[in-house]
């Protein structure tokens, strides 16, 4: 079982919405999925209309009192009225339990122990964490293989990134295994220039740790939560349903060791070249490098007007652009292109 925690000390970033609908999308993809609501506000529990007989509050309270785990009882108590999706709900009492656990020895291992006791029954476990980096969130991080930080389109989101990086650096100093940290752009409104600028800046700062999937603004996501439904139960053909299905597909690839090995094989060297005078430096950016402008993708100047680079790519279709002195534009030598989300043009290349 792969365990993923959604973390962010900032509220209103789409954390619970992403937790609920990613878990639902994975379940639709026939992955047995467990969603744990670790937030005392219980928003994920409410959004799903979940009614588990035993809550995560109960399990943590039992652990604080030294009572043994009973995996069979846990499995029987889960809310599993949706195919392949089981929910372990939360309650407001979780705040008090967090305080009780503070002085307990091994208090960062408790959630991991609970999850491990039933891990053989699921393919994925998705954890919705509270909007802070307290004991509950640290428990989730300690139990996870991967952590995902949703980011809204605002400057405070990028500032929050630095805090998360600091926390993970401290964890690395004190333990061997720390989950891989990825970032997810949410609430993206492509009509605004600022969204485009923010996305490019996030790509430069976060690089390969920024997920290629973005979640667009979509009122139906809020409506679904109000109706206590997943987006797939409420409106299966909405932008929100499409975006979270793309996210599920990307998460499956990231968490699949076979997919990672495949990405390292069957590569083909693709030449990108550009003719132009007066440039100081030229980069190629695209889906193959998370649209990141780095020296690994910097073109070499071959003569007075020719720039070139050879990039190893696996089979597939890729959208890309050139960046010359911070100006982004399509490949003038490539006739294959399509509109990008911001009204510009991407070049498209197919690798067989």
Residue 23 — pLDDT band, cuts 50, 70, 90? very high
pLDDT for the residue 263:
47
Tokens of 19: 């937790």
CA dist., res. 107 & res. 105, Å (int): 5
Percent of all residues in the chain with a pLDDT value above 70, rounded to a whole number:
93
- Domains of the chain (ranges, CATH numbers): 2-261 (3.40.50.300), 266-351 (2.60.40.10)
Q: Tokens for 74? A: 């846990």
Mean pLDDT of 130-158: 87
Looking at residue 173, what is its pLDDT?
64
Q: Is the pLDDT of residue 257 over 50?
A: yes
| Interior/surface letters 264-293, b for 16+ CB within 10 angstroms, e for the rest | eeeeeebebbbeeeeeeebbbbbbbbbbbb
What was the pLDDT predicted at 174?
A: 64
* Residue bearing the bigger pLDDT, 178 or 181: 181
Strands 180-188 and 210-216: parallel
Strands 124-128 and 33-37: parallel
What is the pLDDT, as a whole number, of residue 341? 66
255 has pLDDT over 50? yes
Q: What tens digit of pLDDT does each residue of 47-104 get?
A: 999 998 999 999 998 888 888 889 999 999 999 999 999 999 999 888 888 888 877 7
Residue-wise pLDDT for 207-244, tens only, equals 788 898 999 888 999 999 999 999 999 998 888 999 99
Q: Say which residues have a Cβ less than 8 Å from residue 116's Cβ, sequence separation at least 6.
A: none
- Tell me which of 136-150, 216-230, 298-312 is least confident: 298-312
């Amino acid at each position: 079982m792969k365990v993923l925690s959604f973390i962010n000390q900032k509220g209103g970033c789409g954390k619970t919405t992403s937790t609920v609908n990613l878990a639902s999308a994975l379940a639709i993809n026939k992955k047995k999925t467990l969603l744990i609501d670790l937030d005392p506000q219980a928003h994920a529990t409410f959004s799903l209309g979940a009614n588990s007989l035993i809550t995560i509050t109960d399990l943590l309270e039992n652990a604080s009192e030294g009572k043994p785990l009973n995996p069979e009882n846990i499995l029987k108590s889960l809310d599993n009225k949706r195919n392949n999706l089981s929910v372990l709900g939360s309650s407001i009492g979780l705040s008090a339990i967090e305080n009780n656990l503070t002085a307990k020895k091994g208090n960062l291992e408790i959630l991991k122990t609970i999850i491990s006791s039933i891990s053989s029954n699921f393919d994925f476990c998705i954890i919705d964490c509270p909007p802070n980096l307290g004991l509950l969130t640290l428990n989730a991080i300690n139990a996870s293989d991967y952590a995902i930080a949703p980011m809204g389109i605002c400057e405070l989101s990028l500032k929050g990134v630095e805090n998360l990086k600091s926390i993970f650096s401290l964890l690395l100093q004190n333990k061997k295994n720390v989950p891989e940290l990825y970032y997810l752009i949410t609430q993206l409104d492509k009509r605004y220039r600022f969204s485009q600028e923010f996305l490019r800046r996030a790509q430069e700062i976060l690089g390969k740790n920024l997920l290629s999937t973005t979640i667009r603004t979509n009122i139906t996501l809020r409506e679904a939560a109000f109706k206590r439904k997943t987006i797939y139960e409420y409106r299966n053909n909405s932008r929100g349903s499409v975006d979270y299905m793309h996210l599920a597909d990307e998460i499956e690839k990231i968490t699949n060791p076979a997919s990672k090995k495949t990405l390292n094989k069957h590569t083909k060297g693709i030449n990108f070249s550009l003719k132009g005078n007066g440039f100081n430096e030229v980069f190629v950016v695209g889906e193959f490098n998370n649209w990141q402008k780095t020296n690994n993708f910097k073109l070499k100047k071959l003569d007075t007007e020719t720039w070139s680079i050879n990039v190893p790519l696996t089979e597939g279709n890729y959208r890309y652009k050139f960046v010359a002195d911070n100006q982004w534009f399509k490949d003038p030598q490539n006739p294959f292109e399509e509109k990008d989300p911001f009204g510009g043009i991407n070049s498209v290349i197919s690798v067989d």
